[in-house]
């Protein structure tokens, strides 16, 4: 199933962007084996709710144990892709850097996910999504006039600027490797991707059609016809009526005679009119009024909403008792799928290693180089050390 069927991926488990990227690869059909540390790492909740870990099997290996690191090299030798998200130099110290992996598999695509990149003054510095957005300029864009920057959860940095660029790089390198017979390193940094996402606005800034002051431009709530408005029940409607024909539809549906939007001096008055108008009805009433129109107006829904369009496309599904987003994008011949539910770290150690052709799994478990989850807790059979 999926366009990546037959592609084998080794994931050295990490936080945020690495599991999201490997989730995408698994949903596209790749056979992804996730290498967890014994006992697992930081989680947002119980393992079964860690949706970023869905779609692949988990083995627990102590990478500081020579046999644990050696097992990863044996997996890499037969894989198409390896993904790691350590700080620069950590994989090398474990004996799992690109040189060691390419020595056993020259065609391997070696994906590296970091915040600051593999080099540069900040390469060894800790950081999180908000920091990479801040330095790239992307965070400066988000917010209202006169107010502070607003934080878009970790969607823009970790997942858009990080995971998606990593996956794009991996897919491109896979295509190239099939022709050249040689693998390569994909250095995906969140600060790089976040800056790259601003390309259109960098052009507008150079042209003088975008200002550095946030909340004063066409697409950052500076324009009253591209903003959100509170409804009578304390909810909100999103308005994106940019083009003249869509704006005309908005005004017709609202039955207004507002000031000319093309004169920026009128924007404060237009915003006041729209604010007062949307406050007169509930979100449900406005949603019904604009249903099927080209006014570019939509209700602001909470996570996992149930709007008829979302339901019709099956955008959210129930699986294993958890409401979650279905795989995206969609394919006409090779559909993607969710696959395995999120697994406890080490849940599939014995079966997954065996399936990948590792012959001495019992010895790995006996020495503590590998750990098998027993269902209730991780069973540590040796002197495994967390990384």
**Cβ density class 36-71: b for 16+ within 10 Å, e for less:** bbbebeeeeeebeebbbbbbbbbbbbbbbbebbbbb
d(CA 96, CA 90): 9
Quick one: tokens of 231?
A: 């409804």
239 phi, psi to nearest 5 deg: -115, 125
The contacts found for 311-316 with CB under 8 angstroms, 24 or more apart, are none
Whether the ω angle into residue 329 lies within 30 degrees of 0, i.e. cis, is yes
Q: Are 85 and 37 in contact (CB under 8 A)?
A: no
Residues 6+ apart with CB under 8 A from 217: 210, 211, 223
Which region, left, alpha or beta, applies to residue 341 given φ > 0 means left and ψ of -120 to 50 means alpha? beta
Both tokens assigned to 240: 């994106």
How far apart, in whole angstroms, are the C-alpha atoms of residue 83 and residue 112?
6
Catalytic-role residue among 31, 131, 158, 220:
158
333 burial type by CB count under 10 A (0-12 exposed, 13-18 middle, 19+ buried): exposed
Compute φ and ψ for 53, nearest 5 degrees. -95, 5
Helix-helix angle 164-180:17-27, to 10 degrees:
50
Place of tokens 């040689």: 182
3-class DSSP assignment, residue 196: helix
Instruction: Note the residue count of the chain.
Output: 387
Contact (CB, 8 A) for 59 and 35: yes
What is the C-alpha separation between 117 and 124, in angstroms, rounded?
9
Q: In the annotation, is 196 catalytic?
A: no
Q: Any catalytic annotation for residue 128? A: yes
- The answer to whether the beta carbons of residues 326 and 51 sit under 8 Å apart is no
Query: Considering 128, 140, 196, 307, which one is annotated as catalytic?
Result: 128
Give the active site residues.
128, 158
């Amino acid at each position: 199933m999926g366009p990546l069927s037959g592609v084998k991926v080794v994931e050295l488990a990490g936080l945020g962007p690495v599991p999201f990227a490997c989730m995408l690869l698994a949903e596209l059909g790749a056979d992804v084996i996730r290498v967890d540390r014994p006992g697992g790492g930081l989680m947002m909740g119980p393992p079964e709710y860690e949706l970023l870990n869905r779609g692949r099997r988990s083995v627990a290996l102590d990478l500081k144990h020579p046999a644990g690191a050696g097992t990863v090299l044996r997996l890499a030798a037969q894989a198409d892709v390896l993904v790691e998200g350590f700080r620069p130099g950590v994989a090398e110290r474990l004996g799992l850097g690109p040189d060691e992996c390419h020595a056993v598999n020259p065609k391997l695509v070696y994906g590296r996910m970091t915040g600051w990149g593999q080099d540069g003054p900040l390469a060894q510095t800790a950081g999180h999504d908000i920091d990479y957005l801040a330095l790239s300029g992307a965070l400066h864009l988000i917010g209202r006039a006169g107010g502070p920057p607003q934080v878009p959860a970790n969607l823009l940095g970790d997942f858009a600027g990080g995971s998606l660029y990593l996956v794009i790089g991996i897919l491109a390198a896979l295509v190239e490797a099939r022709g050249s017979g040689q693998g390569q390193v994909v250095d995906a940094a969140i600060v790089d991707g976040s800056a790259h996402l601003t390309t259109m606005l960098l052009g507008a800034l150079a042209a003088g059609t975008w200002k550095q002051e946030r909340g004063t431009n066409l697409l950052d709530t500076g324009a009253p016809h591209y903003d959100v408005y509170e409804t009578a029940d304390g909810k909100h409607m999103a308005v994106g009526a940019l083009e003249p024909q869509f704006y005309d539809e908005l005004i017709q549906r609202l039955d207004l005679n507002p000031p000319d939007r093309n004169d920026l001096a009128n924007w404060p008055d237009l915003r006041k009119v729209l604010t007062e108008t949307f406050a007169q009805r509930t979100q449900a009433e406005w949603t019904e009024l604009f249903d099927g129109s080209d006014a570019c107006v939509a209700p602001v829904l909470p996570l996992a909403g149930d709007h008829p369009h979302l339901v019709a496309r099956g955008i959210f599904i129930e699986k294993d008792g958890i409401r979650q987003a279905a795989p995206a994008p969609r394919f006409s011949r090779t559909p993607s799928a969710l696959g395995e539910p999120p697994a406890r770290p080490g849940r599939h150690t014995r079966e997954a290693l065996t399936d990948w052709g590792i012959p001495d799994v019992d010895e790995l478990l006996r020495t503590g180089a590998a750990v098998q989850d027993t269902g209730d807790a991780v069973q540590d059979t040796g002197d495994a050390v967390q990384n």
